Amino acid sequence: MIYILTGGPATGKGTRSDILANALEIPHISTGDMLRNVAKKNLEIREKLSNGELISDEIITDLLEQRILEDDCKEGFVLDGYPRTLKQAELLDVLLAKYGRAVTKVMELTIPDELAFKRILGRSKCTHCGASYGIDFPPKRKGRCDICGGHLAVRTDDTAETLSKRIETYRENSKPILDYYRDKGILMTVDASAHPERVVEEAQMEI
């Protein structure tokens, strides 16, 4: 059971990967989380992450190989954040084939652009304790944190302009990767405006 979850901004990839991984009792591997961990001890990676640059296909694939050889990945895993390039998709197949494994399904999460705008522009964070709020989980008092009463602020990079750009970039970059999996007949599209738990039902459906 090797699932890949992919999707543009505000599709809730992280949340849905967690739900799916918990339901299937396999680990959720987020390459972003993995790299943030490595960055604590590795200056080169730390610099790349803070500049928003992609880590090289070879380095990230080596890190992924070490991770999937761990015992908890024996029954499978849910991948989130990888592949980010067509080369990574190809390297992943080579890597898995080495161990007699293959990707089971690739789930692309989609939402209408209007919903992405609503979700992202409606996000805020407590400046004191860091708690997050959004349109689906608003604070009880407007502008105030439920937990500590601190002020809520919107992220400076959460603007309509940057979001349009992020959506466009996602579409351009993901196209060859999605085509690759579509050609293999393992791509499915999941409506991510629906309830997050739906991802589990969809994963268990035949393509």
List of residues contacting ligand AMP (CB under 6 A): 31-32, 35, 48-49, 52-55, 60, 81-82, 84, 88
Which one of the listed residues 84, 105, 119, 125 is annotated catalytic?
84
- Residue facing ligand AMP at closest CB distance: 32
Is 67 or 144 the residue whose CB approaches ligand AMP more closely?
A: 67
195 half-sphere exposure, CB direction, 13 A CA radius: 4
Name the residue nearer to ligand AMP (CB basis): 175 or 195: 175
Residue nearer to ligand AMP on the CB measure, 35 or 187: 35
DSSP state string for 172-197: HHHHHHHHHHHHHT-EEEEETTS-TT
Residue of 123, 144, 182, 198 marked catalytic: 123
Out of 36, 74, 141, 155, the active site residue is 155
**Burial level of 121, CB count in 10 A (0-12/13-18/19+)?**
middle
Q: Do 78 and 1 contact (CB within 8 A), yes or no?
A: no
Please, what is the minimum distance in Å from the beta carbon of residue 47 to ligand AMP?
10
Question: Residue 66 has which token pair?
Answer: 């070490």
Distances (CA, A) of 185 to 89, 148, 159, 189: 14, 49, 36, 12
Shortest spacing between CB 36 and ligand AMP, in angstroms? 7
CB of 202 vs ligand AMP, minimal distance in Å = 21
For residue 65, give Cα distances in angstroms to 54, 61, 123, 128, 175: 18, 6, 35, 38, 25
- Asked if 13 is an active-site residue, the reply is yes
Say how far residue 193 (Cα) sits from the centre of its chain.
Answer: 16
Q: Which residues pair with 34 in a beta bridge?
A: none
> 130 or 143, CB closer to ligand AMP?
130
Q: Is 16 a catalytic residue?
A: no
Give the DSSP letter of residue 141: S
Cβ closest to ligand AMP, residue 49 vs residue 146: 49
154 CA to centre of own chain: 21
Least Cβ distance, residue 32 to ligand AMP (angstroms): 2
Is 155 among the catalytic positions? yes
In the residue annotation, 84 being an active-site residue is answered as yes
Shortest Å distance, C-beta 179 to ligand AMP: 18
Catalytic residue among 101, 118, 144, 166: 166
Report the catalytic residues.
13, 84, 123, 155, 166
